[in-house]
């Protein structure tokens, strides 16, 4: 069963990595993912602990209420991303990164100081929609499969091709008539929604939610998923998220050396594979080797 | 590679994992199996051995080790009576996810009881897991309000800050009756600090000392000059700090460096000798309420102090070590009583966990903390508390907690 709860956390890692990957897919380095993750978590924590009508009559927390939380969180995150996206996405490269870090910090400080978010203690005693980690694993991996499917479809869709064009050369893309501002905003909103949905599941899974869940450290961790796995194709961030989340836990038998080994892996990954573990070329080569009898 | 192929991979990947998850959830449950007694009764501990919280985890790890040695000695003296425990220690890190994962790991490994986690914030995430799976938890260091109320299986041997925090303020006023202007500092992004400062501020107001200023800091802050200069503008003669070891140590150092000479009262987060290397000579004179007195003259405490001094070259054991020792002792003694009444080998794991909980909460324990017992919801009932003052050696490297009469 512990492997199941590790699977859940790995799924969260992969989802957050995809949320960082989508803006990167059109060349936007946005570190806002933990901000939307925290928004999703607070939506779930507040709705499930402060609104008794949602708890239902049975022993467990009803799945319909969970679905409602997912919808509300997605709407809130999309609204915030829409409002902030327009001005923020005028920035490029490192300036966009700084602006999104500021967004994450502002949200963290707000959550620490507002009365309804419970301050540093946060919100605890969040009810459980599933009896054990199995249910969470199912929900997380279904969500992950959906997002992966969406990312894979993007490769063939007009939107995905527009994103790739903007990543390669935004000026040229605009000359070709691609509405670059709209495309970037769409990617930012989808990224926000994915992070918020992950936050909803994570808040229930962790039993407690507080401002520490999303901060500057979390921004860097989610970025590391993508740097480690690769940002050219969606399989990269998924693999990065899965591996980097699982590694500290899988290394437990090593004992005191475990974080040193983990650090080594993080260090050696980008040195040996500067483009990330998975690149389209490497995938194609792998496929050829597999096809050969 | 074609997009169609990739999306097929995605769906297949998700479906396979979801199926695996579903199957695993329906598998046989460890709880119905008989208790595994090979190598001793399995007991788990989750302490913060990495991250900033390792300043506490180190103290606690020594406490558990000493308790193991102490029970080993008793077993050597009296082999029939004593029961062997198989303690498995896992790192809980400093965050919720790592502690939860360690709890899951140990519960699946079939432990009858858990000791930990180190931080209250982690307890809010990890304890519900143990509660749902009916595993007794004894917390050695969670002082925040509401920990035993997480569930019926959760108890603690660490007295909550509501009981001990006000004592140090009373002592400061007794030592310096002229105190009129109190300033309060607390780490606003830390669960323990924010709940303790509420108690400190209430205690101050009750004594007629409404804080002249309340300054907020952050756990990861290094530099406190802004907060300190705005506090010193109010010319306080008492400063009350709720922070953790590393940031609190730095804060005290900078307070003294910027010229503050008045009394300093700190909370339980700095109740460890690991602050000495941080604030060095500047630690001298700070007041901390204690749930443990090294001078308590009972056989078990004499043994504990002797073992600690043997291990650490004559140093005086801190409260966190004594509390961790106590947590282990409480679990071990409850298991022993249970085993005498109803041999553990005959019980399934789930039955053993339930029976242990009843035995644990029902017992009286003669520990290094003094005589303790539990209220029905798992709160520790402890007779005596103390206030200590830090006294540093002239070289500023080592010091001691001197208990005030």
pLDDT of residue B87: 96
**CA–CA distances in Å: residue B321 to residues B118, B120, B136, B312, B324:** 12, 17, 21, 12, 5
User: Does B63 map to a domain?
Assistant: yes
The mean pLDDT of A143-149, rounded to a whole number, is: 96
Option in B22, B100, B194 nearest A121 (CB) = B194
Report the range of poorest mean pLDDT among A108-122, A176-190, B15-29, B55-69.
Answer: B15-29
Say whether both B255 and B391 belong to one domain. Answer: yes
Q: Is B19 on the interface with A (CB under 8 A)?
A: no
Q: Is A259 on the interface with B (CB under 8 A)?
A: yes
- Is the pLDDT at B290 greater than 80, yes or no? yes
Say whether A171 sits in a helix, a strand or coil.
helix
- Is the pLDDT at B127 greater than 70, yes or no? yes
Q: Is B91 on the interface with A (CB under 8 A)?
A: yes
Say whether both B215 and B135 belong to one domain. Answer: no
pLDDT of residue A14: 97
Say whether both B59 and B202 belong to one domain. Answer: no
Burial of A266 (0-12, 13-18, 19+ CB in 10 A): middle
- Is the pLDDT at A236 greater than 90, yes or no? yes
- Is the pLDDT at A52 greater than 90, yes or no? no
- The residue segments making up the domain with residue B191 are 162-290+386-404
The pLDDT-based confidence of B13 (bands split at 50, 70, 90) is: low
The mean pLDDT of A17-31, rounded to a whole number, is: 95
pLDDT of residue A1: 46
Distance, in Å, from the CA atom of B209 to the CA atom of B203, rounded to the nearest integer, reads: 9
Interface test with B, best of A2, A117, A158 (most B CBs within 10 A): A2
User: Does B4 map to a domain?
Assistant: no
Q: Are residues B189 and A148, on separate chains, in Cβ contact within 8 Å?
A: no
User: Does B148 map to a domain?
Assistant: yes
pLDDT of residue A254: 87
User: Does B379 map to a domain?
Assistant: no
Say whether both B113 and B74 belong to one domain. Answer: yes
The mean pLDDT of A6-34, rounded to a whole number, is: 95
The pLDDT-based confidence of B12 (bands split at 50, 70, 90) is: low
Distance, in Å, from the CA atom of B194 to the CA atom of B191, rounded to the nearest integer, reads: 5
Q: What is the pLDDT of residues A246-283, one digit of tens each?
A: 999 999 988 888 889 999 999 999 999 999 999 999 99
ipTM score of the complex?
A: 0.91
- Is the pLDDT at A291 greater than 90, yes or no? no
User: Does B19 map to a domain?
Assistant: no
pLDDT of residue B24: 53
pLDDT of residue A293: 64
Say whether both B167 and B152 belong to one domain. Answer: no
Q: Is B77 on the interface with A (CB under 8 A)?
A: no
Strand-pair category, B238-242 with B182-187: parallel
Domain count, chain B: 2
Option in A112, A134, A207 nearest B188 (CB) = A112
| The CA-based dihedral angle spanning residues A236, A166, A91, A279, taken in that order and rounded to the nearest 10 degrees | 20
Write out chain B residues lying below 8 Å of A262, CB-based.
none
Distance, in Å, from the CA atom of B253 to the CA atom of B234, rounded to the nearest integer, reads: 19
Say whether both B174 and B72 belong to one domain. Answer: no
Is the distance from CB of B213 to CB of B238 less than 8 angstroms?
no
Say whether both B77 and B92 belong to one domain. Answer: yes
A114: nearest CA partner in chain B: B188
pLDDT of residue B145: 86
User: Does B13 map to a domain?
Assistant: no
Residue A229 in tokens = 């796995």
Q: Are residues A256 and B49, on separate chains, in Cβ contact within 8 Å?
A: yes
Q: Are residues A134 and B22, on separate chains, in Cβ contact within 8 Å?
A: yes
Say whether both B127 and B276 belong to one domain. Answer: no
- Is the pLDDT at A102 greater than 80, yes or no? yes
The mean pLDDT of B201-218, rounded to a whole number, is: 94
Option in A112, A134, A153 nearest B7 (CB) = A153
- Is the pLDDT at B19 greater than 70, yes or no? no
The pLDDT-based confidence of A10 (bands split at 50, 70, 90) is: very high
Q: Are residues B124 and A122, on separate chains, in Cβ contact within 8 Å?
A: yes
Residues of chain A above pLDDT 90, percent: 80
Say whether both B127 and B221 belong to one domain. Answer: no
Q: Are residues B107 and A156, on separate chains, in Cβ contact within 8 Å?
A: no
Q: Are residues B124 and A121, on separate chains, in Cβ contact within 8 Å?
A: yes
Q: Is B58 on the interface with A (CB under 8 A)?
A: no
Q: Is B201 on the interface with A (CB under 8 A)?
A: no
Is the distance from CB of A225 to CB of A237 less than 8 angstroms?
yes
Say whether both B393 and B327 belong to one domain. Answer: no
Reduced DSSP (H G I as helix, E B as strand, rest coil) percent helix, strand, coil of chain B, to 5: 50, 20, 30
Say whether both B325 and B359 belong to one domain. Answer: yes
Q: Is A281 on the interface with B (CB under 8 A)?
A: no
Q: Is A134 on the interface with B (CB under 8 A)?
A: yes
Q: Is A212 on the interface with B (CB under 8 A)?
A: yes
Write out chain B residues lying below 8 Å of A128, CB-based.
128, 132
Report the range of poorest mean pLDDT among A191-195, B192-196, B236-240.
Answer: B192-196
- Is the pLDDT at B2 greater than 60, yes or no? no
Compute φ and ψ for B291, nearest 5 degrees. Answer: -95, 0
- Is the pLDDT at A146 greater than 50, yes or no? yes
User: Does B393 map to a domain?
Assistant: yes
- Is the pLDDT at A173 greater than 50, yes or no? yes
Write out chain B residues lying below 8 Å of A213, CB-based.
96
User: Does B2 map to a domain?
Assistant: no
CATH at B61: 3.40.50.2300
Within 104-133 of A, beta carbons closer than 8 Å to B belong to: 108, 112-113, 119-122, 124-125, 128, 132-133
Q: Are residues B108 and A210, on separate chains, in Cβ contact within 8 Å?
A: no
Q: Kindly tell me the sign of the dihedral angle through the C-alpha atoms of A83, A86, A90, A91.
A: positive
Q: Are residues A134 and B124, on separate chains, in Cβ contact within 8 Å?
A: no
Q: Are residues B21 and A141, on separate chains, in Cβ contact within 8 Å?
A: yes
pLDDT of residue B6: 58
Mean pLDDT taken over chain A = 93
- Is the pLDDT at B33 greater than 50, yes or no? yes
Say whether both B50 and B111 belong to one domain. Answer: yes
A157: nearest CA partner in chain B: B3
């Amino acid at each position: 069963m512990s492997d199941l709860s590790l699977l859940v956390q790995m799924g969260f890692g992969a989802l957050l990595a995809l949320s960082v990957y989508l803006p990167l897919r059109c060349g936007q380095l946005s570190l806002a993912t933990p901000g939307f993750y925290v928004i999703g978590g607070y939506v779930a924590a507040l709705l499930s602990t402060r609104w008794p009508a949602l708890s239902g009559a049975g022993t467990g927390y009803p799945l319909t209420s969970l679905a409602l939380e997912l919808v509300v969180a997605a709407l809130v995150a999309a609204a915030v991303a829409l409002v902030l996206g327009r001005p923020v996405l005028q920035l490029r490269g490192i300036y966009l990164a700084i602006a999104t870090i500021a967004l994450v910090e502002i949200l963290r400080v707000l959550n620490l100081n507002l009365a309804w978010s419970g301050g540093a203690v946060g919100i605890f005693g969040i009810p459980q929609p599933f009896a054990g980690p199995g249910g969470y694993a199912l929900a997380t991996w279904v969500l992950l499969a959906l997002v992966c499917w969406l990312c894979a479809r993007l490769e063939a869709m007009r939107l995905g091709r527009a994103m790739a064009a903007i990543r390669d050369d935004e000026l040229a893309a605009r000359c070709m008539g691609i509405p670059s501002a709209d495309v970037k905003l769409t990617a930012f909103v989808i990224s926000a929604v994915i992070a918020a949905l992950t936050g909803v599941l994570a808040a229930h899974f962790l039993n407690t939610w507080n401002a520490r869940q999303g901060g500057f450290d979390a921004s860097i961790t989610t970025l590391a998923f993508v740097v480690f796995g690769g940002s050219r194709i969606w399989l990269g961030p998924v693999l990065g998220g899965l591996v980097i989340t699982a590694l500290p836990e899988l290394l437990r038998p090593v004992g005191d050396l475990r974080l040193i080994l983990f650090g080594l892996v993080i260090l050696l990954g980008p040195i040996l594979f500067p483009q990330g573990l998975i690149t389209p070329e490497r995938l194609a080569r792998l496929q050829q080797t597999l096809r050969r009898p | 590679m074609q997009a169609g192929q990739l999306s097929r991979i995605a769906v297949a990947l998700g479906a396979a994992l979801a199926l695996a998850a579903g199957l695993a959830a329906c598998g046989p449950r460890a709880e119905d199996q008989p208790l595994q007694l090979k190598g001793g009764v399995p007991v788990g501990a989750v302490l913060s051995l990495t991250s900033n919280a390792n300043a506490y985890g180190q103290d606690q790890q020594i406490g558990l080790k000493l308790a193991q040695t102490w029970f080993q000695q008793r077993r050597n003296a009296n082999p029939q009576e004593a029961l062997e425990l198989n303690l498995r220690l896992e790192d809980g890190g400093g965050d919720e996810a790592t502690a939860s994962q360690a709890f899951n790991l140990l519960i699946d490994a079939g432990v009858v009881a858990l000791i930990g986690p180190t931080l209250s914030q982690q307890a809010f995430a990890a304890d519900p897991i143990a509660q749902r799976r009916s595993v007794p938890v004894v917390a050695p260091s969670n002082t925040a309000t509401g920990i035993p109320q997480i569930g019926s299986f959760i108890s603690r041997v660490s007295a909550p800050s509501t009981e001990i925090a006000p004592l140090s303020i009373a002592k400061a006023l007794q030592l310096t009756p002229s105190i009129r202007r109190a300033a309060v500092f607390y780490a606003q992004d830390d669960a323990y600090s924010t709940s303790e400062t509420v108690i400190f501020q209430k205690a101050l107001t009750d004594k007629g000392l409404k804080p002249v200023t309340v300054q907020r800091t952050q756990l990861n802050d290094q530099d406190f000059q802004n907060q300190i200069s705005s506090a010193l503008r109010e010319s306080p003669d008492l400063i009350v700090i709720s922070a953790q070891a590393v940031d609190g140590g730095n804060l005290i150092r900078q307070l003294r460096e910027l010229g503050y000479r008045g009394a300093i009262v700190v909370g339980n987060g700095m109740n460890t000798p690991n602050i000495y290397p941080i604030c060095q000579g500047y630690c001298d004179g700070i007041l901390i309420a204690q749930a443990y007195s090294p001078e308590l003259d009972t056989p078990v405490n004499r043994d504990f102090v002797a073992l600690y001094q043997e291990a650490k070259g004559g140093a005086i054991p801190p409260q966190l070590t004594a509390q961790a020792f106590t947590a282990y002792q409480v679990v071990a003694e409850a298991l022993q009583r249970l085993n005498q009444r109803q041999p553990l080998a005959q019980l399934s794991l789930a039955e053993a966990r339930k029976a242990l909980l009843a035995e644990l909460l029902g017992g009286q324990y003669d520990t290094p903390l003094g005589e303790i017992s539990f209220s029905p919801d798992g709160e520790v009932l402890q007779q005596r508390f103390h206030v200590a003052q830090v006294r540093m050696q002239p070289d500023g490297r080592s010091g001691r907690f001197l208990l005030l009469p």
